[in-house]
Structure 1
Amino acid sequence: MSADQAKHRVVIIGSGFGGLFSAKAFKGRDDVEVTLIAKTTHHLFQPLLYQVATGILSQGEIAPPTRDILHRQKNATVLLGEVNDIDAEAKTVKASVLNQEISVPYDSLIVAAGAGQSYFGNDHFAEFAPGMKSIDDALELRGRIFGAFEIAELTASRGEPVGDLLTFVVVGAGPTGVEMAGQIAELSRRVLKKDFTHIQSEKARVVLVDAAPQVLPPFGEKLGDKAEKALGKAGVEVILGAMVTHVDEFGIEMKFKDGKTQRIGSIAKIWAAGVSASELGKTLSEQTGAELDRAGRISVKPDLTLPDHPEIFVVGDMINLDHLPGVAQVAIQGGKHSAKTIKARLKGKPDPGDFKYFDKGSMATISRFNAVLSMGKFKLSGILAWFGWLVVHLAYMTGFRNRLTATLHWMMSFIGKDRSERTTTMQQIFAREALERVPGGMAALIDDPADVAAQVESRRKELEEHAAEESRLADSGSRGAS
């Protein structure tokens, strides 16, 4: 048996916080071979997606290449691919990207595939109200938000009423929704105020909608009330106790508990309500018998393993355990715990035992120099909470360069009025919809290698025949001239 074959093979699915921190935990271990498989080539700092969507940060600052992060870790291999099957008996993971397929064996498996947007059974809402779970989502929303102002300016320049073009609706009053609504209000009232000739951007209507009775439910009633008042002061209209029942190209419809309905006309809508665990949870449930909850999260044992499969760990947003929240710290700590357990087993030591989550608190920005912070019984709001938010997010950014550039952009955006990342294109806005209309998706746009080879050969023969004909005509012309 070779040295490589003797190594313990750890396969990690996902390059988010759980996947990345579990991979880094094996650094320097010569007896471990780590393979990280993810459907993107970057590690996404998801809490800052809204800042990409509103032009504060570039996508590169919150999504550095996974290979670059792990390039000094000699025992780590990074593979691009979307995992579509896990065989718990054969201990293999199968993934594909476009028309390429791979199968990777494992001795230990850490599944950290994260979560997607949930539309609570109304997935068709996504066509008109994109979520915010990926770089693609953020760039599309950037195009839609800034594009709404441009279309309104064009409409007003013709002397026509702007109507609902400057009405922005954010669905979901959790941290993501609050932060997005606050930044759109900041854009319209401060950043873009002097940029247009025919419209007054500060008159844009920003609406935050949620079926819950308060803003930021996990933060408690006191901070929720403060956040709601701060949003109102920033120019955000908050509508609570309203369930969204319909979304179309030109607006949304809501239903209140008393049965009353209301429609809000809007071109630019953002969905920030609810999450749905990765489809891999269903695969693992079928393989191991572990139960799934309504959100698709899989029930794990207290040590984060699956029933009768101590070699399979699940971490982060995918798990249903002790009502743990779907936040970065749960994924980070779960990834580290899983790696610690595997390393203990390799040394023949007892397992570390049950996973114990240490709650480091939650925070959300509302507007410039205003945030809320909740850490156990400690509650804080205002500028001190905002500076706390700033420090924590800088600390968890990957790489000195990203921290430096993010700090410079924050200074320009929050102290000044400049937002350097305002580039938008039609492709950003419509690429997702165009791809969804292609039968077979992106894979259908890739030609079969055999077909390409046949086309190349046919074209080669055609060119050879054309060249031979030109040579014959040239020789014929020469003989005639002589």
Structure 2
Amino acid sequence: MQDRHIVVVGGGFGGLQLANDLKGAPVRITLIDRRNHHLFQPLLYQVATTLLATSEIAWPIRNFFRDRPEVTTLLAEVVDVDSSAHTVTLKNGDTIGYDTLVLATGATHAYFGHDEWEPVAPGLKTLEDATTIRRRVLLAFEQAELEKDPAIREALLTFAIVGAGPTGVELAGIIAELARKTLPKEFRNIDTSKARIILVEAGPRVLASFVEELSDYAQKALERLGVEIHFGKPVTSCTAEGVTIGDTFVPCRTIVWAAGVQASPAAKWLDIPADRAGRVVVDKELRAPGQPDIFVIGDTAAVTREDGSPVPGIAPAAKQQGAYVAKVIRAKLSGQPAPGPFHYRHQGSLATIGKSAAIIDFGRIKLKGGIAWWVWGLAHIYFLIGTRWRIAVAWSWLWIYISRQHSARLITQRETMREE
């Protein structure tokens, strides 16, 4: 009997876990991704804020499967799915047939109907996003050093982060430390420690997914770093000149968007129901409705727990879903009963505030401060792929902790600064 052909769209945590867990199964796997690398997204903000280099958090997908002849990796973009013909269509017009399809296509930024804000307020989902943000942050200090007009200089030294979830909080904390602790001795015409870092949150508190005690600690830690936090008013405009918070305009030349996500168009490809964020509403076995041979996992899927609450869009959830679908496929191949409905096991919530403080919620155990930061660091090093990268990231963090010097402050692919 010919091996079953599994097509996996997306080389993120879910897609990679699935392919790994199908090792030795009588299947052929085609893994398709628009990029040639797997990205450790939880540390992406550290590339954006000059703590880590891109090569420390991303690895070539082909490298993972060099000893797996049954796995074919394609650098391509899927633009449609024909479920009746069991094919996916690539951007170049080619089609690939499948017996089982797994969509793990992730998510991108959501601007709540204002996509025109994206050029001036980039989000943070890819390496390209991270290097764009890093470049703009560093160039803002460089141009401020040259600027003679005090008003323009102040705008250049104002950084706005929209959204106070984990990404927004982590970005605000590191940019504040960069301005206050790393750069002051390196500039002669400006005082980088007087830079304004503004964190905008339409809700009532930062890190709303954490318990109030930890949220309050994070807010106070940010304020100690000099971060200005604006609660209760949404951003109503983002332009090259600044950001408008409610009715108040703030001159600002660097804006980072961390306020929402939008799933890939997988639901549109399949012409099936999606939630408000565009995620496919899957069944208890992570299948697309009415499509027994199509699974949807990770940020592309709207998955609920037994109590009806949503499964969070984080790396451990995607890995668990990939592992579960691999079990379902193996059971079908062997004629065994399915493993039962997907059950998400929450392993805890973590967030950092700067380079030496963090909060962790393990349920009954809650940590904050320096101890939480060390636990956070160890957890992330553990989940990195390969000894080489674990050592590289650990060394970078140790050097930064001791010296307070960020190791990846290179401006590359310089974009033309706005003419004043």
TM-score bracket, normalised by the shorter chain, equals over 0.9
Change (3 A) 1:377 1:282: farther
The counterpart of 1:281, out of the listed 254, 267, 276, is: 267
Contact 1:152 1:162 in 2 (8 A): yes
Who is 2:352 aligned against? 365
Aligned to 1:14: 10
Residue ranges of structure 2 left out of the alignment (5+ in a row): 305-309
* Cα distance in 1 between the residues matched to 2:14 and 2:414: 29
Amino acid at match of 1:73: R
Contact 1:250 1:266 in 2 (8 A): yes
Q: For residue 109 of structure 1, what is the amino acid of its counterpart?
A: L
The one-letter code sitting in structure 2 at the alignment partner of 1:164 is: A
Deviations 1:412-443 (A, max 9, x none): 11221222211113x35469x9xxxxxxxxxx
Tell me if structure 2 keeps the 8 A contact 1:302–1:354: yes
1:472 counterpart residue number: none
Paired residue for 1:325? Answer: 312
Q: Which shifted more, 213-222 or 100-109?
A: 100-109
Residues 139 and 428, structure 1, Cα contact 8 Å, conserved in 2:
no
1:122/1:430 CA distance change after superposition, 3 Å: farther
Alpha-carbon distance in 1 for matches of 2:366, 2:230? 24
* Alpha-carbon distance between aligned partners in 2 of 1:231 and 1:105, rounded to the nearest angstrom: 51
Instruction: Note the C-alpha offset of 1:159.
Output: 8.3
Q: Within 5 Å, give how 1:117-136 maps onto structure 2.
A: 117-136=109-128
Residue of structure 1 equivalent to 2:249:
263
- C-alpha contact (below 8 Å) 1:170/1:180 kept by paired residues: yes
**Does 2:290 match 1:308?**
yes
**Displacement after TM superposition at 1:342 (Å):** 0.3
Contact 1:13–1:19 (Cα < 8 Å) also in 2 = yes
Q: Does 1:143 align with 2:135?
A: yes
2:40 to 36, 39, 45: 45
Partner SS state of residue 118, structure 2: helix
2:174 aligned with 1:187: no
Distance 1:159 1:291 in 2: 53
141, 154, 172: which one pairs with 2:146?
Answer: 154
What letter is aligned with 2:130? A
- CA deviation after TM superposition for structure 1 residue 319, in Å: 1.3
1:219-246 deviation per Cα after TM superposition (whole angstroms, max 9, x unaligned): 1211111100000001111111110011
Superposed displacement of residue 104, structure 1? 1.3
Letter in 2 for 1:67: R
- Residue 109 of structure 1 is aligned with which of 91, 98, 101? 101
Match of 2:388 in 1: 401
Q: CA deviation at 1:166?
A: 0.2
TM-score between both structures, scaled by the size of structure 2: 0.95
SS in 1 for 2:216: helix
Q: Is the 8 A contact 1:297 1:318 kept in 2?
A: yes
Alignment of 1:345-384 (within 5 A): 345-384=332-371
Alignment partner, residue 281 of structure 2 = 299
| Pair member with larger Rg | 1
Given that 1:170 and 1:207 are in contact with CA atoms closer than 8 Å, whether structure 2 keeps it comes out as: yes
State the AA in 2 paired with 1:268: T
After the TM superposition, which residues 48-59 of structure 1 pair with which residues of structure 2 at under 5 Å, given as runs?
48-59=43-54
Q: In 1, Cα distance between the equivalents of 2:231 and 2:5?
A: 50
**SS in structure 1 at match of 2:408:** coil
Q: What is the Cα deviation at residue 187 of structure 1?
A: 0.3
Distance 2:100 2:150 in 1: 65
C-alpha separation in 2, matches of 1:94 and 1:252? 40
Query: Whole-Å Cα distance in 2 between the matches of residues 385 and 282 of structure 1?
Result: 41
- Residue among 311, 324, 333 paired with 1:337: 324
**Aligned equivalents of 1:95, 1:217: Cα separation in 2:** 39
Listed one character per residue, the Cα deviations across residues 28-69 of structure 1 (whole Å, up to 9, x for unaligned) are 23x110110001000011111111111111111111111112
* CA–CA separation in structure 1 for the residues paired with 2:98 and 2:415: 40
Deviation of the 1:362 alpha carbon: 1.0
Deviations 1:69-88 (A, max 9, x none): 22122221110111101111
Query: Which structure is higher in helix share?
Result: 1
Which secondary structure state, in structure 1, belongs to the residue aligned with residue 372 of structure 2? helix
SS, match of residue 49 in structure 1: helix
Q: Is the 8 A contact 2:203 2:233 kept in 1?
A: yes
**Which AA in structure 2 matches 1:201?**
T
2: distance between equivalents of 1:309 and 1:160?
58
After TM superposition, give the deviation of residue 123 of structure 1 in Å: 0.6
- Superposed, 1:384-463 pairs within 5 Å as 384-425=371-412, 427-429=413-415
3-state DSSP class of the match of 1:388? helix
Q: Residues 354, 161 of structure 1: CA spacing in aligned structure 2 closer, same or farther, 3 A cutoff?
A: closer
Overall identity of the aligned pairs, in %:
43
Partner of 2:55: 60
Write the distance in 2 (CA, Å) between the matches of 1:10 and 1:90: 15
Shift in Å at residue 161 of structure 1? 6.1
Name the CA shift for 1:45/1:239 in 2 (closer, same or farther; >3 Å). same
Residue 171 in structure 1 maps to residue 162 in structure 2:
yes
Q: Secondary structure at the match of 2:39?
A: coil
With structure 1 as the length reference, what TM-score do the two structures score? Answer: 0.83
Q: Could you tell which deviates more after superposition, 175-184 or 290-299? A: 290-299
Q: Which runs of 5+ in 1 are unaligned?
A: 256-260, 434-482
Q: Which letter does structure 2 place at the counterpart of 1:53?
A: A
1:458 maps to which residue?
Answer: none
Residue in 2 that maps onto 1:89: 84
**1:181 touches 1:207 (CA, 8 Å); kept in 2?**
yes
Letter in 1 for 2:202: A
CA distance in 2, matches of 1:42, 1:402: 14
C-alpha RMSD of matched pairs (Å): 1.6
Per-residue CA deviation, residues 272-291 of structure 1 (Å, 9 max, x unaligned), is: 1100000122212x1xxx31
Contact 2:279 2:300 in 1 (8 A): yes
